[in-house]
A and B are shown apart, each in its own frame.
Chain A
Amino acid sequence: KNQVEQSPQSLIILEGKNCTLQCNYTVSPFSNLRWYKQDTGRGPVSLTIMTFSENTKSNGRYTATLDADTKQSSLHITASQLSDSASYICVVSFFGNEKLTFGTGTRLTIIP
């Protein structure tokens, strides 16, 4: 069964600090891995999308990395801001299966 697991479940950090969120997935190969940011009560917004051949992708203060050998991805947030408080969801699209498989998300809270 295709699974996507994220850690930690929740994280609280001080404004201005950096943090890294983890995503582990089973089953390969896969089509692409995506990170989404979801504010409470809103729809997810895409941050990065990487194919299996890409190792890193940046979007401003967000940098995603991918290790296809260990089936791990991470999302690094630098110089965190209060607006970064949200849930971050890792999503994997598998070959032959356009259905997206979602991780359970990491709830990030930035405190001043």
Chain B
Amino acid sequence: KAGVTQTPRYLIKTRGQQVTLSCSPISGHRSVSWYQQTPGQGLQFLFEYFSETQRNKGNFPGRFSGRQFSNSRSEMNVSTLELGDSALYLCASSPMRADEAFFGQGTRLTVV
């Protein structure tokens, strides 16, 4: 059974640009959550999607958005990138909400 797949693995962007990250959950999993991980702040929750609807949202500015498609795949978008957005972005999927979360390998975003 394939795990959670995140693409791309690495990304370098310039300040002011926008970026879209992709997450393909484990087959059959309907809940997808996104997290930002930085050395200073650790893992922080961004948002959770279930059945194409955003169910929960963390304390991040509106520049961070996401969506989930009917096949449960999810995308995360960050507009007007700032240097502080440099981080490892992790996606996790679960069969249902609040079930055990399985993480992808992450996308390492560097903003220069």
Closest to B42 in A: A104
Q: Which of A42, A98, A104 contacts B98 (CB 8 A)?
A: A98
Q: Mark A37-49, 1 if CB is under 8 A from B, else 0.
A: 0000111111001
- Whether, in the assembled complex, B58 has its beta carbon less than 8 Å from a beta carbon of chain A, the answer is yes
Q: Which of B4, B6, B56, B88 contacts A99 (CB 8 A)?
A: B56
Q: Please name all residues of chain B whose beta carbon is closer than 8 Å to the beta carbon of A34 when the two chains form the complex.
A: 100
The main secondary structure of chain A at its interface with chain B is: strand
Residues of B within 8 A of A85 (CB): none
CB of B90 within 8 Å of the partner chain: yes
Are A45 and B43 in contact, CB atoms less than 8 angstroms apart? no
Q: Contact partner of B48 among A31, A42, A98, A104, CB < 8 A?
A: A98
Assuming the contacts A31-B98, A43-B4, A99-B56, asked whether A105 and B103 have C-beta atoms less than 8 A apart, the reply is no
A23, CB-defined interface residue at 8 Å: no
Bound-state Cα–Cα, A31 to B44, Å? 19
Complex-state Cα separation, A45 to B100, whole angstroms: 11
**Which residues 10-59 of A have a CB within 8 angstroms of B?**
31, 34, 36, 41-46, 49
Q: A89 near B: Cβ within 8 Å?
A: yes
Q: Which residues of A contact B92 (CB under 8 A)?
A: 43
Residues of A within 8 A of B (CB): 31, 34, 36, 41-46, 49, 89, 93, 97-105
Interface residue ranges, B against A (CB under 8 Å): 4, 6, 33, 35, 42-45, 48, 55-56, 58, 88, 90, 92, 97-98, 100-106, 108
Chain A to chain B: the 6 pairs with minimum beta-carbon distance, closest first: A43-B103, A102-B43, A104-B42, A98-B98, A99-B45, A44-B103
- Name 24 interchain pairs, CB-CB below 8 A, sorted by A: A34-B100, A41-B88, A41-B106, A41-B108, A42-B105, A42-B106, A43-B92, A43-B105, A44-B43, A44-B90, A44-B103, A46-B102, A49-B100, A89-B43, A93-B98, A98-B55, A98-B56, A100-B45, A100-B101, A102-B35, A102-B42, A102-B44, A102-B45, A105-B42
